[in-house]
Chains A and B, each alone.
Chain A
Amino acid sequence: MISLLGRTLVLAGLGACAVGAVAGFVGGARKDADALRITRFMANAFGALMIAATILMEVALVTHDFSVSYVAEVGSRATPLHITLVSLWSSLNGSILFWGCVLGGGTLAFTRHVRDHDPQHASYALGSLLSVGLFFAFLVAGVANPFAATEGVIPTDGPGPNPLLQNHLLMIIHPPSLYLGYVLMAVPYAMAAAALLAGRLEATWMRLLRRWMLFAWAFLSLGILLGGWWSYEVLGWGGYWAWDPVENASFMPWLTATAFLHSAMVMERQGQLKGWTLTLAMSTFLLTLLGTFMTRSGVFNSVHSFTQSSIGPVFLGFIALVLVASVLLLAARMDALTASDTATDEGVVSRESAFLLNNLLFVAFTFTVLLGTLFPLIKEALTEERISVGEPYFNRMSLPVCVGILFLMGVGPSLPWGNTTGARAWSRLRLPLRAAAVGAVIGAVLQAGPWAIATFAASAFALVVTVHELLEPAQARVTSLGESLPTAFLAYAARARQRVGGYIVHLGVIIVAVSIAASSTFKVQRDLPLTVGQEVSFEGYRLRFDGMRTDTEPHRTAQVATVTVLSDSGTLGVLEPKMNHYKQMREPIGTPAVRSGLKEDLYLSLVRVSADGTTASVRAMVEPLVAWLWLGGLVMFGGALFSLWPRGRAVVAASAAQVAPGDDGAARPAK
């Protein structure tokens, strides 16, 4: 019953997409209002149908309807309800349905957004978006159909989702966040395609495009961060990033999207770089498709790729199609757009130059990651030899770029748009450079490596500039209006959301950079043999093994080691690293225990336990500042949301009443 209904919903969505896509392109080409009306209706229908199909799948999961093949694959009566709900994205077919659901939701929102926009742009954009939707609806209806009826005898119970995915609550928010980031990149892509098809790009369209990109970027950032956090909390190796192909897959579109957000600022301000900016928007979507392909087709094997599936070739075909269409569009229409690029008078020492360099670095970064990620695939395809590119490659290639980007985060905002003199630039950079020296000295005193020292220096440099940029306008209000500093800052921030939000994101990036440098440089790891009742010293802690315990839950049993953490000042707490035994799996899966603090984390991972439970081996690690990584990531996310938050009416009225800097802090307070 659910199989049939679900399939019907998906097929109806597929039909709506097909009609809507054709109507959209026709409406764009003929500037036909009726066609646009049809497109909008079909877009709404597609969105509603995909969401309905997803809700239906959730109903099937919750009611344990094992006649639906996907439920039979991932469902289990013993699995707790919240895990059952998120089983939707715990295996291939469900995750593709979820992709379609997010795209449907995005389509609904976007259809509302374009109501007041240029009809031709709206037609083309919806047509492009529905073309993407068409592909995913096709996947859900065909090769990755989660609603297929279970073959043979319908089982009374199922295996439940992959135990690794049941081990932590982060699994509930990491995938949806990443999906929002990945999937919604389709909207900027469609908008860029619309601008190229129409051969013109107005400021209002660009602004909407940038806001969609920023929204998707915020969730992609959050998703990547949560993925790292999950890896840290669940996998037991004490790290959060390993340059795994799957991680790289999510990182590459993040890099190009970040480059886009910066080049879009140059474009909106100076009317330049239109073609380049649109190229970045389109590349970002292509990279998310590549990422989805890499994680879902089984070419790379990780916790993300479920089983071998026939989805790969179809996906590759689609990527090739989008790539060719994008290149052709850009080649044919770039000139129409860039003809209106305005000649400006900025010199070499200007904010634009810093942005250009920033873009170069981000693209270079993307390129090196792409090379290292795809090389093993190409090599295996050609020689059947299996290799991988080691972490040292990625670290060596990325460190200089990262330090360069951090440094530019300080240089760019210090330079005015247009033109400046070397002397004036120097006067603005003197204080940040002193801070950089302090950062370098701190790194050197702590005996960090050269790249960690460079990271600390660049971070200190960028930090001083960022804080200065955030406080300077508020300071100006304090001087001119006599407000207190917090009041002045809030009043200013409310009216310059984009600017303030951007600098908050920069603060988050600095925090993340310092945390990564510190936690990777000063990490200490040791395997400790423990005997019941005995204390072991480790990095200033004393660890006492109090014995083993067995916890029984419906879907698993856990061997729990109780380790009391002591310091010279007394007992700090109890850590309980576990080994979980799931019913359907022969091998146990560990869950590490972490004592997290602002200064450092103590991380214990249970490696083995003797048969009688009197001795155990624990992998112990101390990682400084690692908690700041999650905090910094949340600051980045918060900054992006702050930037996106719609301006309240009161604020708009208030700022209209005053002569003040524009939304993006256009005018630097006059000196």
Chain B
Amino acid sequence: MSEPTPSSPAATPPGGLSARQRRTFLVGSVLVALLALGGIASVDMSENLVYFWEPRELYAAGDDAYGAQIRLGGLVKEGTLQWDEGAQELKMVVTDGQADVTVHATGAPPQMLREGIGVVVEGTMTKEGVFKTDRLMVKHSNEYRAPQEGVETKELYKTVEGLE
């Protein structure tokens, strides 16, 4: 048996830990650590949620919508798409048929962006009533057939995720 280590606390029995103590220590510390971690994680997670909303859900959320990270899905409303090449600014209205949201995007829009197409934009709603985004995703058909116009917006998320 080796001598007790000077650096170890008095709680360590001379000769170190037995297998059973070690197991208890292990299981106990895992549980405590996981509990603590679960607490921290859930707090952190609630601060970092991204909401998948359509325009009407965005308005329904009221003041909660301001500042929250939102993935807004809808169709680009006909006659609203404006792309300013010089300023690299894009303005458009995203609609779900019931509500409209004005969206300002920075950066060049993807080639396939056009009016009437489904888009998902990730960003935040400002108090001025403008949705600001720097991440624009166009509905992408994986299914090898022309997407129908007026497609169910919930379906949009399914085809754009993962392509970014």
Contacts and interface: CB of A to CB of B under 8 A. Distances in A.
A627 interface: no
Given A348-B5, A422-B6, A608-B111, A397 B41 contact: yes
A585 B45 CA distance: 37
B56 interface: no
A306 B158 CA distance: 11
A246 B108 CA distance: 28
Contact of A368 (B41, B143, B157): B41
A341 B140 contact: no
A547 interface: no
Interface string A332-359: 0000001001111111110000001000
B17 A346 contact: yes
A617 B138 contact: no
B23 A619 contact: no
A456 to B, nearest CB: 24
Given A388-B49, A588-B111, A615-B85, A244 B162 contact: yes
A372 B26 contact: no
Contacts of B40: 397
Interface in B120-164: 138, 140-144, 146-147, 154, 157-159, 161-164
B116 interface: no
Interface in A372-396: 372, 375, 385-393, 396
Contact of A584 (B15, B37, B144, B161): B144
B112 A387 contact: no
A49 B159 CA distance: 36
B44 interface: yes
A211 B32 CA distance: 32
Nearest to B32: A360
A520 B139 CA distance: 28
Contacts of B19: 272, 338, 341-344
A159 interface: yes
A349 B163 CA distance: 48
B88 A389 contact: no
B41 A587 contact: no
A162 interface: yes
B91 to A, nearest CB: 16
Q: Chain A interface: which size bin?
A: 35 or more
B9 A393 contact: no
Contacts of B109: 607-608
Interface in A388-425: 388-393, 396-397, 418-422, 425
B41 A371 contact: yes
Interface in A480-518: none
A360 B144 contact: no
Interface string A529-550: 1000000000000000000000
A486 B136 CA distance: 54
Contact of A588 (B2, B22, B112, B162): B112
Most buried by A among B4, B16, B30: B16
Chain B binding surface, main DSSP class: loop
B107 interface: yes
A372 B42 CA distance: 9
B99 interface: no
B48 A393 contact: yes
Nearest to B86: A529
Contact of B45 (A275, A364, A371): A371
B8 A349 contact: yes
Nearest to A388: B50
Q: Chain B interface: which size bin?
A: 35 or more
A390 B162 contact: no
B5 A397 contact: no
A392 B9 CA distance: 38
Most buried by B among A244, A300, A301, A371: A301
A608 to B, nearest CB: 4
B141 A364 contact: no
A235 interface: yes
Contact of B37 (A301, A344, A364): A364
Interface string A621-649: 00000000000000000000000000000
Interface string B99-124: 00000000111111000000000000
Contacts of A344: 16-17, 19
A397 to B, nearest CB: 6
A360 B33 contact: yes
Given A364-B33, A372-B41, A347 B107 contact: no
A344 B4 CA distance: 13
A55 interface: no
A478 to B, nearest CB: 32
Interface string B42-64: 10110111111000000000000
B45 A608 contact: no
Contacts of B5: 347-349, 419-422
Interface in A560-587: 579, 584-587
Contacts of B50: 387-390
Contacts of A338: 19, 23
A303 interface: yes
Contacts of A372: 41, 45
Interface string A159-174: 1001010000000000
A529 B49 CA distance: 33
Interface in B1-28: 1-2, 4-9, 12, 15-19, 22-23, 26
Contacts of B7: 347-349, 421-422, 425
B108 A371 contact: no
A304 interface: yes
Contacts of B44: 393, 396-397
Contacts of A608: 108-111
A301 B40 CA distance: 28
A522 interface: no
A303 B162 CA distance: 6
30 contacts: A301-B158, A301-B159, A302-B161, A306-B142, A343-B18, A345-B15, A347-B7, A348-B7, A348-B8, A360-B30, A363-B30, A367-B41, A371-B42, A372-B41, A375-B45, A387-B50, A387-B52, A389-B45, A389-B50, A393-B47, A396-B44, A396-B48, A397-B41, A419-B16, A584-B144, A585-B141, A585-B144, A586-B147, A587-B112, A617-B85
Closest 10 CB pairs of A and B: A302-B162, A617-B108, A422-B7, A386-B52, A341-B19, A393-B48, A347-B5, A390-B48, A607-B108, A301-B158
Interface of B: 1-2, 4-9, 12, 15-19, 22-23, 26, 29-30, 33-34, 37-38, 40-42, 44-45, 47-52, 69, 71, 85-86, 88, 107-112, 138, 140-144, 146-147, 154, 157-159, 161-164
